[in-house]
Amino acid sequence: MSVRSRSVITAVTAAALLGLSACGGAGDSGAEQPEPQAKPLQSFDACTFFTPEELTSFGVETKAEDFTQVGFQPGCKWNGDQMILSLQKNVDEDFDQYEKTGTFDEFTRKPFAGRAGARMLTAGAKGQGVCNAVVSAGGGIVLYQVTGNYPEFDACGEVEKIADQTAARLPQ
């Protein structure tokens, strides 16, 4: 076989393989596969969610600080004299997954602003002056957390009040 024949065969084979890969290969119906939909929560910025007026009314500073304890749950916190407020998002888990896979001292289902939600104490948090509200939002969850700066502070009452007042604005 001449060098020219081999070159032509190689070029035809390469073109055929490229054509097959563009069509999706063997066993594919040729229909386009849907792209994974971006979750609305992905573009949500927890650090800019609360208005300055809300933060002032909650008794915390308006300056946000990073509060990303684990990489898949970014968020911010705001310090105050009586409490620390934090807000985080998790686009990897929805509300039901979070309930099933988490370890809690308490997980009491309670809607916030008409959304699936729960008052939650993570494992080991009971009696520590910290309380969370987890709310279904935009294909994932948003976690509100209040930590009281003194023992008598009602962290659960405060986190529920804040979630009730603001959860309606979270991404759908």
Q: What is the enclosing helix (H) or strand (E) of 95?
A: helix 95-101
Look at residue 37 in the predicted model and tell me its pLDDT.
73
Q: What angle do CA 60, 64, 70 make, to 5 degrees?
A: 115
Mean pLDDT, to the nearest integer, of 77-90? 98
Give the separation between CA 52 and CA 59, rounded to whole angstroms: 11
Domain that includes residue 11, residue range: 1-33
Look at residue 38 in the predicted model and tell me its pLDDT.
81
Q: pLDDT tens for residues 25-73?
A: 444 445 555 556 789 999 999 999 999 999 999 999 999 999 998 889 9
Partners of 65 in beta bridges: 77
Same domain, 29 and 95: no
The Cα-based distances of 57 to 40, 50, 97, 98, 100 in angstroms read 28, 11, 33, 30, 34
Mean pLDDT, to the nearest integer, of 105-114? 96
Residue 14 pLDDT > 70: no
Write the CATH number for 121.
Answer: 3.40.1000
Look at residue 56 in the predicted model and tell me its pLDDT.
98
Same domain, 146 and 63: yes
Same domain, 142 and 165: yes
Same domain, 152 and 82: yes
Query: Are the beta carbons of 76 and 87 closer than 8 angstroms?
Result: yes
Say which residue, 8 or 162, is predicted with more confidence: 162
Query: Are the beta carbons of 143 and 134 closer than 8 angstroms?
Result: yes
Same domain, 130 and 50: yes
pTM of the model: 0.78
- For residue 23, which amino acid is it? C
Same domain, 57 and 128: yes
Mean pLDDT, to the nearest integer, of 113-124? 96
Look at residue 25 in the predicted model and tell me its pLDDT.
42
